[in-house]
Amino acid sequence: MTPTPQHPHDGVFDIAVIGGGIVGAAIARDLSGHDVTVALLEARDDVGDGTSKANTAILHTGFDAKPGTLESRLVARGYHLLSDYAKATSIPVEHTGAVLVAWNDEELAALPELKAKAEANGYEHCRIVDAGDVYQVLPDLGEGALGGLTVPDESIICTWTTNLALATDARQRGTTILLEHRVTGVDEGEETTTLHTTSGDVRARWVVNAAGLGADHIDRLFGHDRFTVTPRRGELFVFDKLTRPLVNKIVLPVPTSRGKGVLISPTIYGNVMLGPTAEDLEDRSNTATSEDGFGFLLTKGERLMPRLLAEEVTASYAGLRAAIDHPDYLIAATAAQRYLLVGGIRSTGLTAGIAIAEHCRTLLEEAGLELRTRTDLPDPPRMPNIGEATPRPYQDADLISRDPAYGTIVCYCERVTEGEIRDACHAPVPAHSLEGLRRRTRAMNGRCQGFFCGAAVAALREQHHTHDGCSSQHKDVR
């Protein structure tokens, strides 16, 4: 269907959501299910280009969260909400399950406590198993595992499609997506707030700050001084698809106070990943990988699964968690300012995003925002499948006979077709760059990393960019 963004009659949106990551997109989607005008402001030239594009892409049950926290509640609820939403929108998910492995006596002794913690979080399906059981499901694991804890519902998901589905849904419900609108200043008026951005002013009655790594800066523009974001870099290796048979489950370490630790996981695209590291930085834009990170991951990988390290690494990347000096998510409304902060969504925001949005809606209503549920909502979007578990366009003979562009492969490593690239350029939330195309189609994401297909992909982008779609909706996806 053709999206129908709602423009405010008086030039003032009812709500402006800052940040087009998973959290901001989920909030915009939720709010635009009500009788209000919503703008989603994103600093970059695409949604989902911040932390939400570079994580380990695990749909967490929340078994290891700290019981009683807002995070544990929202991750557990988010798991179910996102699982259902993924079915409705075709976001790729594989319910692989996970095994948390104990490598020494101390870790072995911690397993009963972790099981009890899972139960305190409402997750009852963990089971403690001995080393024999661990090696039965993970025969290629390195030597020395002493036992494990199974987490049968831990799953893998496509983080890129999740962000895009939420943004597309928000747009189809009427949200105005404003790209390249970095918020740089705030003027609070009696009834409306003016957000100064790099592409002009945007006025709104209510403002939601879901700016991830930039959330503390925005919070200060509203006169608060309650937290500081420390970017915590996580580096990862992605191994060649030949490694996928080695790893059919997520292999988790025993978590520490610094985080979830280094894991091995199958990916939704048929690879295996190893990581992430956890390193606090000062530079909020430093997503480069490092020699130290490489060394650390090689040492860890050698212990966890030596056979994996004998295979080729296809890519490495790094993401930045928005760690804050507060032990839980920091989500708070200030009614007098008609302002909601959504901060500290560090390591679990992909899973919790839809539940965070639900929680935000409740807080906004309590702060005085009137919301009436709409009865005329469009169906959720059906997203293009870029996962390996279900057939892709190049495998669909009927589709190819109807439209031969789906039979013309452009990216051979990942088997991406001309039809998919064309569609991504003309989607409701279209790709404006090669990186945007990569996240929508997997083009240039394989063994050659675009060496062979990059020029052809760029030419197609140029062709569709010129003729319609991409450029006309560049800054203001209205």
Residues that bind ligand FAD (CB under 6 A): 18-24, 41-44, 49-52, 55-58, 60, 182-183, 210-214, 218, 234, 276, 319-321, 345-351
Nearer to ligand FAD, 18 or 111 (CB): 18
CB of 391 to ligand FAD, least distance (A): 26
CB of 253 to ligand FAD, least distance (A): 13
CB of 393 to ligand FAD, least distance (A): 27
Dihedral pair phi/psi, residue 464, rounded to 5°: -80, -30
CB of 21 to ligand FAD, least distance (A): 2
CB of 27 to ligand FAD, least distance (A): 9
Dihedral pair phi/psi, residue 347, rounded to 5°: -110, 5
CB of 427 to ligand FAD, least distance (A): 18
- CB of 441 within 8 A of CB of 384? yes
User: What is the secondary structure of 218-246 as a DSSP string?
Assistant: HHHHTT-----EEEEEEEEEEE-GGGGGG
Nearer to ligand FAD, 275 or 419 (CB): 275
CB of 116 to ligand FAD, least distance (A): 23
Angle CA(443)–CA(449)–CA(452) in degrees, nearest 5?
80
Q: Which amino acid is at 469?
A: G
Which residues, at least 6 apart from 285, have a Cβ–Cβ distance to it below 8 Å? none
The residue among 325, 23, 372 whose CA lies nearest residue 170 is 23
The residue among 314, 364, 356, 375 whose CA lies nearest residue 339 is 364
Nearer to ligand FAD, 82 or 399 (CB): 82
Nearer to ligand FAD, 167 or 399 (CB): 167
Could you give the CA distance from residue 158 to residue 172 in angstroms, rounded to a whole number? 21
CB of 185 to ligand FAD, least distance (A): 10
- CB of 24 within 8 A of CB of 17? yes
- CB of 166 within 8 A of CB of 24? no
Nearer to ligand FAD, 14 or 154 (CB): 154
Nearer to ligand FAD, 211 or 437 (CB): 211
Residue 275 DSSP symbol = E
Could you give the CA distance from residue 357 to residue 350 in angstroms, rounded to a whole number? 12
Tally Cβ neighbours within 10 Å of residue 325.
12
Nearer to ligand FAD, 324 or 416 (CB): 324
H helices present in 100-190, as ranges: 105-120, 131-137, 159-172
Nearer to ligand FAD, 182 or 415 (CB): 182
Place of tokens 């480069």: 288
Could you give the CA distance from residue 478 to residue 466 in angstroms, rounded to a whole number? 18
CB of 22 to ligand FAD, least distance (A): 5
Nearer to ligand FAD, 44 or 117 (CB): 44
Which residues, at least 6 apart from 77, have a Cβ–Cβ distance to it below 8 Å? 352, 355, 358
